[in-house]
Homo-oligomer: A and B are copies of this chain.
Amino acid sequence: MYELGVVYRNIVRTERNLADALSRYGTATVHEAMGRVGLMQPYMRSIYAGAQVSGTVVTVLMHPGDNWMMHVVAEQIQPGDIVVAAITAECTDGYFGDLLATSFKARGARALVIDAGVRDVKTLTEMPFPVWSKCISAKGTIKATPGSVNIPVVCAGALVNPGDVIVADDDGVVCVPRALAAKTLEAAAAREANEGAKRAKFAAGILGLDMYGMREPLAKAGLKYID
């Protein structure tokens, strides 16, 4: 967050199979599996419905209204990566469009997560190239000041380190630190394993009050029923 004008070429990525496997579980499950932390703020929205991905992180830090580093980060992309872009101040400009998406896709990128705006969303949707962004804006940017690539960044309120795993879907974006990826995958799988049985019970009309044994703790907490 503090080094400007540097590009780290060698980063340690989360093991591929771990990063890939996390996409199976949605952000809600992964975020719960991590102990309810790691989520970006809810203003981060997918540009089209239904996208669901996971991948290893390369980061880029840019200045307001300046997307020069997008071309620098493109070179650092490896297949299976997701680019996480942060800006040094609040900005709604459109940093990314269909040409850069073509470049990113050719390099093997799976998605872009950016705390600013993007444009050409119709074409991005057709490609398709998934993007989670703060907003959509046709506003172009300049190429004047270097930022950095592959330093730790804060994106939409979440700390993201290069090599971490991003999981993103219609519910939002969560960042899983590399050191926690294996444990999180395991916890997510465990959560998911239970969900099928629970869903069947709920569908049969069984109440959560009974399934989770909540009646007694609710009464202890003071809940009263009035007829």
Contact = CB atoms under 8 A, between A and B. Distances in A.
A97 interface: yes
B106 A203 contact: yes
Query: Considering residues A36, A48, A135, A145, which has the most beta carbons from chain B within 10 angstroms of its beta carbon?
Result: A36
Contacts of A66: 65
A221 B203 CA distance: 33
Interface string A135-167: 111111011111000001010011100000000
A207 B104 CA distance: 9
Interface string A16-52: 0000000000111001101111110110010011101
Interface range for A: 35 or more
Count of this chain's copies in the oligomeric assembly? 6
Interface in A90-142: 90-94, 97-100, 102-103, 105-107, 117, 119-122, 125, 135-140, 142
A140 B31 contact: yes
A186 interface: no
Contact of A207 (B52, B74, B144, B172): B74
Contacts of A94: 28, 171
A199 B37 contact: no
Contact of A99 (B107, B159, B199): B199
Contacts of A170: 121-122, 136
Contacts of A218: 68, 72, 146
Interface of A: 1-2, 4-10, 26-28, 31-32, 34-39, 41-42, 45, 48-50, 52, 63-66, 68, 70-72, 74-75, 88-94, 97-100, 102-103, 105-107, 117, 119-122, 125, 135-140, 142-146, 152, 154, 157-159, 169-172, 174, 177, 180, 195, 198-199, 202-205, 207-209, 212, 214, 218, 221-227
